[in-house]
Structure 1
Amino acid sequence: MTKLFKRIDTVFLEVTDIEKSIEWYTDVLDLELRWFQKEGGYAAIEIGETPLTLVRASEVKPATHCQFNFFTNDIKAAHERLQENNVDVDEIVDYGDVLSFEFRDPDGNILGVCFFEE
């Protein structure tokens, strides 16, 4: 922790269809909706200490790299759940001390999942 900042408070991710994205993030990723502001086009998804805020955008140009990683204690189960839900999922990569894989949300945003011994 730095002296100036305590943590990352919120991660923002643009999506084109906020209601469809809320459904996808809650159903497929099994996350919980914290709040939804339909008129403003914002929805906060509960994920540990740092919420994921979906932001409605008229067009999304996904980054060419992973936006952030979800941490899991069971990377194989996470990988299988995404595959079972027809998510575009890469293979699990073993970096020695870290296992990870990437996947795409309905807007093509590249997201990651990682596991390492804490």
Structure 2
Amino acid sequence: MIERIDTLCMIVSDVEKSARWYKEALDFKAVFIGEGYRVLQVGDGGTPLTIEEGQVQPKPNQPYPIFFSTQITKLHENLRTQGVRVSDVHNDEVNQYFKFYDPDGNQLQVCYFE
């Protein structure tokens, strides 16, 4: 039966351009290069992010990945300095989090909790 999530998949308009952005903005490394897609290692985690070239149609309430960072404030500032669209850092008394968007407008989120 099902044992784990193998990968998270997101559609991007230009897989080469997006792979560069994910490397430069988030330090994700391409661990597999396929025709029209890239499998990106996310930090030291076991679940990669696969970006697949296709027609991007971001919608409200669309599922999105939430990444974890112990350096959330530094990451937020780094992304903002790079010109990435980011929300404010929110604190809901359980965790801190912020949303940000890749070049295709795909929503992503980062959280931190103890």
2:68 corresponding residue in structure 1: 71
What secondary structure sits across from 1:13 in the alignment?
Answer: strand
- Amino acid aligned to 1:23: R
Identity fraction in percent = 38
1:42 corresponding residue in structure 2: 37
Gaps of 5+ in 2: none
2:53 corresponding residue in structure 1: 56
Q: In the alignment, does 2:26 pair up with 1:29?
A: yes
1:116 corresponding residue in structure 2: 113
Offset from partner CA, 1:49-80 (integer Å, 9 cap, x none): 100000000x2001323501110011101101
Which of 75, 90, 103 is 1:93 aligned to? 90
- Amino acid aligned to 2:47: T
- Amino acid aligned to 2:3: K
RMSD across aligned C-alpha pairs, in angstroms?
A: 1.1
Gaps of 5+ in 1: none
Aligned mates of 2:87, 2:4 — CA distance in 1 = 29
| Runs (4+) off by over 3 Å | none
Aligned mates of 1:74, 1:6 — CA distance in 2 = 30
| CA apart distance, 1:114 | 0.3
What secondary structure sits across from 1:28 in the alignment?
Answer: helix
TM-score normalised by structure 1 residue count: 0.89
1:8 corresponding residue in structure 2: 5
